[in-house]
């Protein structure tokens, strides 16, 4: 079945650093979604991508829809403490009724 | 505008019991989806409802059931609880079925002892 693989699993960064993470699949996706989840809360939609090659920004966040439609990337520039959390990629299955999710990338800022 | 609301926030049950979780979607959203999130993993799709009809079902046993009401709120029921049902249950709403931009509630944390 369709699966999403996220890397890295976790990241330790210094405040002010740029962050890059990615999501890959063996299947083609027509939509890529990036969510952030804080402890004890539900995921919050950050960026939605609908077209291969699309580059979309939301403040300091930038996400790209890979040309092959099998991957997507999320970059965070000049990280700040509130960026801490778990970042998930998600995409609709062929049935389009459900989202499948990666296992997440946990972002931790070193003190 | 109120976001997606879920109740209760936390719940403790014992094996064999049943549980009902509730969700109210964002005003104007007609589709509700339920997900189960086990610690350390991404959410797993359970159900999607649109206009009171089931539109999709994930790979969960028949102990899991749901329904959607005329006001678009929804309930998730789980019977004969197992220890492995302990998880965060998330509800997400969207304008229509197949709308991939889903907005999530804070979840209900279920602990089965």
Of A43, A92, A104, Cβ closest to residue B104: A43
Query: Contact at 8 Å (CB) between B26 and B3?
Result: yes
- Residues in chain B within 8 Å Cβ distance of A41: 106-107
User: Encoding tokens for residue A54?
Assistant: 């699309």
pLDDT by residue (tens digit) across B30-74?
999 999 999 889 999 999 999 999 998 999 999 999 999 999 999
Predicted local confidence at residue A110, as pLDDT: 85
Query: Contact at 8 Å (CB) between B89 and B110?
Result: yes
Predicted local confidence at residue B1, as pLDDT: 61
Q: For all residues of chain B together, what is the average pLDDT?
A: 94
| Percent of chain B topping pLDDT 70 | 99
The count of other CB atoms within 10 Å of the CB of residue B61 is 10
Where residue B99 falls among pLDDT bands split at 50, 70, 90? confident
CB of B33 less than 8 A from some CB of A: yes
**pLDDT tens across the length of chain A (111 residues):** 778 999 999 999 999 999 999 999 999 999 999 999 998 899 999 999 999 999 999 999 999 999 999 999 999 999 999 999 999 999 988 776 788 999 999 999 887
Rounded Cα distance, A11 and A110, in Å: 10
DSSP code of residue B15: T
Between chain A and chain B, the number of residue pairs with CB atoms below 8 A apart is 59
Q: How far is B56 from chain A (nearest CA, A)?
A: 6
- Residues in chain B within 8 Å Cβ distance of A103: 40-42
- Residues in chain B within 8 Å Cβ distance of A33: 100-101
CB contact under 8 A, A98 and B56: yes
The residues, ordered by sequence, that sit 6+ positions from A103 with a Cβ below 8 Å of its Cβ are A5, A6, A9, B40, B41, B42
pLDDT by residue (tens digit) across A87-107?
999 998 877 678 899 999 999
């Amino acid at each position: 079945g369709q699966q999403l693989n996220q890397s890295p699993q976790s990241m330790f960064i210094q405040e002010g650093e740029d962050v890059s993470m990615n999501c890959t699949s063996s299947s083609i996706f027509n939509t890529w979604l990036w969510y952030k989840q804080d402890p004890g809360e539900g995921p919050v939609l950050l960026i939605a991508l609908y077209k291969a090659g699309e580059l979309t920004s939301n403040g300091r966040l930038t996400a790209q829809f890979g040309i092959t439609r099998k991957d997507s990337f999320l970059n965070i520039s000049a990280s700040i403490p509130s960026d801490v959390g778990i970042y998930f990629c998600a995409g609709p299955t062929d049935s389009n009724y459900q989202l499948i999710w990666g296992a997440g990338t946990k972002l931790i800022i070193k003190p | 505008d109120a976001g997606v609301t879920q109740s209760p926030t936390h719940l403790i049950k014992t094996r064999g019991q049943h549980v009902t979780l509730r969700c109210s979607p964002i005003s104007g959203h007609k589709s509700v989806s339920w997900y189960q999130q086990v610690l350390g993993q991404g959410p797993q799709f359970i159900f999607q409802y649109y206009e009171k009809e089931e539109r999709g079902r994930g790979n969960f046993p028949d102990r899991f059931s749901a329904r959607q009401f005329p006001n678009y709120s929804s309930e998730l029921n789980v019977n004969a609880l197992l220890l492995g049902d302990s998880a965060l249950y998330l509800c997400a709403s969207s304008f229509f079925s197949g709308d991939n931009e889903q907005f999530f509630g804070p979840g209900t944390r279920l602990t089965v002892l």
